[in-house]
Amino acid sequence: MIQTTFPDRAVMAELLAKMLWEIKAVHFNAAQPYKLSSGMASPVYIDCRKLLSFPRIRSTVMDFAASTLLRDAGFEQFDCIAGGETAGIPFAALLADRLGLPMVYVRKQPKGHGRNAQIEGNMPEGSRVLVIEDLTTAGGSMFKFIDAVRAAGGIVDHGIALFFYGIFGEQRFADGKVRLHHIATWRNVLAVAKEQKLFDDKTLSEVEAFLDAPLAWSGRNGGVSELSL
């Protein structure tokens, strides 16, 4: 089914943030920061994969994603949806079904045997491809998939992350000539935590300090203070 209703952006962002809290996909811990793959220390961690285990939430989030894309990118802008290994693959399948489009997936590396393929599925050269991930911080991992699609002859002008950290801006996407679409950010998640008083004031203030200056916070708490975007 193709989604054709267009909820208010702020409503979609707030509802996704509430869903993530409801399914316990959000974690705040300023006392024992999480170490991210980039080497950053962070008082926040999110597991968007959990969305897949809740059918009503999963369906609503796909409605939001379809609505965001149709309104902001257009109705006939894509020939194919590509999911990045591994978390992007199920969301690509769900979104492709919503939009009535073919779907492929992109390996992190060519598989090293057989056809040595990195793109799995049918993607004719010149296809206009939307790349989807469950979340992105500054775009580094998403561009590994975007670069692979482009190298295989696909055209990538748009990417979508269901959840965007929103703390480093979108410079990587501007440099790579990709428009990033997203539904919610950490600011939306923090707003729900404040409204519902889910954590004590000290934890909430530490999380806000991280969102305001993530690398400075990381450096003060045992992580890297510089990041290659």
Is 37 annotated to bind a ligand? Reply is no
Structure-token pair, residue 180: 């990033």
Contact 211, 25 (CB under 8 A): no
Is 135 annotated to bind a ligand? Reply is yes
Is 113 annotated to bind a ligand? Reply is yes
Is 108 annotated to bind a ligand? Reply is yes
79 has which bridge partners? Answer: none
Is 86 annotated to bind a ligand? Reply is no
Is 136 annotated to bind a ligand? Reply is yes
What's the CA gap between 37 and 41, in Å, rounded? 10
Helix axes 201-212, 186-195, angle to 10 degrees: 160
Cis-peptide, bond into residue 86, ω within 30° of zero: yes
Is 139 annotated to bind a ligand? Reply is yes
Is 153 annotated to bind a ligand? Reply is no
Is 137 annotated to bind a ligand? Reply is yes
Q: What is the DSSP letter of 190?
A: H
Structure-token pair, residue 93: 């399948």
Q: What are phi and psi of 134, to 5 degrees?
A: -70, -40
CA dihedral for 31, 35, 40, 45, sign (positive or negative): negative
Is 158 annotated to bind a ligand? Reply is no
Is 194 annotated to bind a ligand? Reply is no
Annotated binding site for 5-phospho-alpha-D-ribose 1-diphosphate: 107-108, 111, 113, 133-141
- Binding site members: 107-108, 111, 113, 133-141
Please report, in range form, the residues annotated as the binding site for orotate. Answer: 137
